[in-house]
Amino acid sequence: QKEVEQNSGPLSVPEGAIASLNCTYSDRGSQSFFWYRQYSGKSPELIMSIYSNGDKEDGRFTAQLNKASQYVSLLIRDSQPSDSATYLCAVDSGGSNYKLTFGKGTLLTVNP
Partner 1 sequence: GAVVSQHPSRVICKSGTSVKIECRSLDFQATTMFWYRQFPKKSLMLMATSNEGSKATYEQGVEKDKFLINHASLTLSTLTVTSAHPEDSSFYICSASTSGGRPDTQYFGPGTRLTVL
Does 49 help bind partner 1 (rule: CB under 8 A)? yes
Which of the stretches 22-30, 56-64, 66-74, 84-92 binds partner 1 when contact is defined by CB under 8 A? Answer: 84-92
Does 88 help bind partner 1 (rule: CB under 8 A)? yes
Instruction: Kindly state the smallest distance separating residue 25's Cβ from partner 1, in Å.
Output: 12
Does 61 help bind partner 1 (rule: CB under 8 A)? no
Nearer CB in complex with partner 1: 34/79:
34
Q: Residue by residue, what is the 3-state secondary structure of the chain?
A: CCCEEECCCCEEEECCCCEEEEEEECCCCCCEEEEEEECCCCCCEEEEEECCCEEEEECCEEEEEECCCCEEEEEECCCCHHHCEEEEEEEECCCCCCCEEECCCEEEEEEC
Nearer CB in complex with partner 1: 103/110:
103
**Sites for partner 1 among residues 3-42 (CB under 8 A):** 4, 8, 32, 34, 41-42
Instruction: Report residue 1 CA to chain centroid gap.
Output: 20
Q: Which residues bind partner 1 (CB under 8 A)?
A: 4, 8, 32, 34, 41-46, 49, 88, 90, 92, 97-105
